[in-house]
Amino acid sequence: MTDNAHGRRSATSAPVDPRNPGDAYLQNEIDTNRRDEYRLIGKALIALVFVAVLVVVRVVFFE
Amino acid sequence: MSGFDWGQAGTLALEIFLLVLVATGAIPVLAGALSFIVIPFHAFKNHYKKAKPYTPNVAIVIPAWNEGAVIAASVDRLMSLDYPLDHLHVYVVDDASTDNTPDVVKQKELQYPGNVFHLRRDKGGEGKAHTLNHGIAVVLADDWMEALLVMDADVIYQRDSLRRMTRHLSDPKVGAVSAYIREGSADKNYLTRFIGLEYVLSQPAARRAQNVLGAQACLAGGAQLHTRENLLAIGGRIDTSSLAEDTITTFETQLRGREVVFEPLAVVLAEEPGSIDALWKQRLRWARGNVTVTARYKHIWFRHSKVHNLGSFAFGIVWFSLWLLPIAMVLSSIGLIGLLFMHSELAAQVFSILWISAAMTYAFTLALAAQLDPPLTSRAWREVVTFPGIISIIVIAAAFFPGLIEERIPGLFGLELTETGEFWLRFSLYVWISFSMVGAWIARKIEKTAIGRVLSPALIYLVGYGSLLCAITFDSYIKEIRKADAKWDKTEKTGRVAS
């Protein structure tokens, strides 16, 4: 488990030789990074919920 | 024709004209919303599927003018990257430095034989592009280099960042890759926190969107990786005719049919200006460079091409919205105030529509951006909350929650607004979007005075960081109209970046 750029723990364990981790490690890192991008959907939904809460407050208390 | 009411027709025509002015303010809002709505689609449309393990021979060219304080640490960090050492050459191009830069680099040359090279320009001060070209000419003289990394002397590459960039070059369609430049000052102040948040919005957020749209606006100056083929295709050198060499390189790459990829997980820490004055100079240079870019590529905007996506409607609207945002703000204010003075009921309605759209876009973008780099945004939570400016948040509240500012809050104190009071409150709300730029300008003017040390940060929190950037863009219009000298002005760096 290693820290990735955004403070999350990534699923790839640290390579024995960081300078030459080998193709299998690098491919695994690419696949992990690709899968992590699916988290964007959840994050966008959370942001949408935040906007929806504002709209609900407006509708309930200010209309 | 005797029944035709010319007065009514004139009023209607004026109302329509003012509505059009107000509508210009909606264009940047819609462009911002478009940019951020496509970000989650990066889950499906990204370059990872085509990336492969790939560690080409990389030549790193670092332009250095009086970088004695930072260059040794920069070279040491590059030599400790998670990248095969026999695939890594570092060329420090010393731009006629007058400090100890040559001695420091020569010492590193001895410490890392075969990996670090000192190149000296006897004539300096011509700008970063000239300095880079000196190094690029040396690098291209033999065929060792397969990829060229252009960076700044003071930035810090996280250990895995270079290999995360090179993997995209395994796809021959890719010409260049950029990384996430993250504000990394150890001694952060309010301004560097605002800049850090701005960089989250403009890079892991907006550049992901540009990956989806298939057109990148700009390779980061401190982290641009080119294939040898791409470098040769764009002329084997960096453009020296403008202040926007990074953007021109990005455009030239894409105009030749090569992709530019933004890699959000390759992180590079950079020191950004800690004062309004330094930020103003840096961004004025960028804004004036963008004027050159807009004019030079006038034949591509909003024109479909089978070769590149720079002419797409989505890319064009985002590009021009940023560049013309201050004009849109002023026109929108003029339209609203005109409608107010005409006692048109439309004023309140279009104000609500405009600011409710802005409020929802702001809320969505900031809520999403806050999740894209949690370590940074959690430290900058005050700047996340106040990013639009405290007064703009009040304006947003007035539009989003009707009656809150005009009735409910005065009502808490047993007060009631008179008709005149309501008129001037509305006037203040409508004019604020333009006036906020004046507040930012004052913040810069008083920054170096005793009172300014306290008042300038307070003003930026009040008027908003976005208004500060708009004021700088507005200044670039004035400089362009006056045809003021466009000089390359190096941003002062002091080695504040924390590794």
Contact B264 A5 (CB under 8 A): yes
Chain A residues within 8 angstroms (CB to CB) of chain B: 4-7, 18-21, 23, 26-27, 29-31, 33-34, 37-41, 43-44, 46-48, 50-51, 54-55, 57-58, 61-63
The reply to whether B219 falls in a domain is yes
Work out the number of other CB atoms within 10 angstroms of the CB of residue B378: 11
Contact B52 A27 (CB under 8 A): yes
DSSP secondary-structure letter at B39?
Answer: G
Give the closest-approach CA distance of B417 to chain A in angstroms.
18
User: Cα separation of A12 and A27, whole Å?
Assistant: 10
> Residue A9's domain spans which residues?
2-62
pLDDT range class, residue A7, cuts 50, 70, 90: very low
User: Cα separation of B210 and B203, whole Å?
Assistant: 9
The reply to whether B199 falls in a domain is yes
Tokens of A33: 């990074």
What is the predicted ipTM?
0.88
Specify which residues B120 forms β-bridges with: B94
The reply to whether B73 falls in a domain is yes
Tell me the pLDDT tens digit for each residue of B263-320.
999 999 998 999 999 999 999 999 999 999 999 999 999 999 999 999 999 999 999 9
Residue of A nearest to B46 (CA): A34
Residue to test with chain B: of A1, A12, A30, most B Cβ within 10 A: A30
Contact B159 A18 (CB under 8 A): yes
Task: Give the pLDDT of residue A15.
Answer: 78
Contact A47 B84 (CB under 8 A): no
The reply to whether B222 falls in a domain is yes
Give the closest-approach CA distance of A11 to chain B in angstroms.
14
User: Cα separation of B24 and B324, whole Å?
Assistant: 10
Task: Give the pLDDT of residue B69.
Answer: 85
User: Cα separation of A53 and B2, whole Å?
Assistant: 55
The reply to whether B123 falls in a domain is yes
Angle between helix axes B190-200 and B465-481 (nearest 10 degrees) is: 80
With vertex at residue B347, the alpha carbon angle to CA B343 and CA B350, rounded to the nearest 5 degrees, is 165
> Residue B97's domain spans which residues?
43-275
Residue of A nearest to B48 (CA): A34
Tell me the pLDDT tens digit for each residue of B467-482.
999 999 999 999 989 8
Task: Give the pLDDT of residue A1.
Answer: 39
User: Cα separation of B165 and B145, whole Å?
Assistant: 16
Number of domains comprising chain A: 1
The reply to whether B194 falls in a domain is yes
Number of domains comprising chain B: 1
Cα-flanking dihedrals φ and ψ of residue B60, to 5°? -100, 125
Contact B83 A19 (CB under 8 A): yes
Q: How many CB pairs under 8 A join A and B?
A: 97
Tokens of B220: 């980061």
Nearest residue to B400 via CA among B358, B445, B365, B451: B358
Query: Residue B228 belongs to a domain with what CATH number?
Result: 3.90.550.10
The reply to whether B411 falls in a domain is no
CA dihedral for B474, B475, B477, B482, sign (positive or negative):
positive
- Say yes or no: B96 contacts chain A, CB-CB below 8 A: no
User: Cα separation of B404 and B386, whole Å?
Assistant: 19
- Say yes or no: B183 contacts chain A, CB-CB below 8 A: no
Among the partner-chain residues B46, B163, B372, the one whose CB lies closest to the CB of A26 is B163
Residue B488 pLDDT > 70: no
Cα-flanking dihedrals φ and ψ of residue B67, to 5°? -110, 25
Rounded to an integer, the average pLDDT of B155-165 is 95
Residue A3 pLDDT > 60: no
User: Cα separation of B295 and B243, whole Å?
Assistant: 13
Q: Is B275 exposed, middle or buried (0-12, 13-18, 19+ CB in 10 A)?
A: middle
The reply to whether B218 falls in a domain is yes
User: Cα separation of A10 and A3, whole Å?
Assistant: 6
Rounded to an integer, the average pLDDT of B400-404 is 89
Give the CA distances from residue B342 to residues A8, B228, B334, B338, B383, in Å, rounded to whole numbers and listed in that order. 56, 62, 12, 6, 38
Rounded to an integer, the average pLDDT of A33-62 is 95
Q: Which residues of B touch A31 (CB under 8 A)?
A: 48
Rounded to an integer, the average pLDDT of B389-417 is 89
Tokens of A57: 């407050």
User: Cα separation of B426 and B432, whole Å?
Assistant: 10
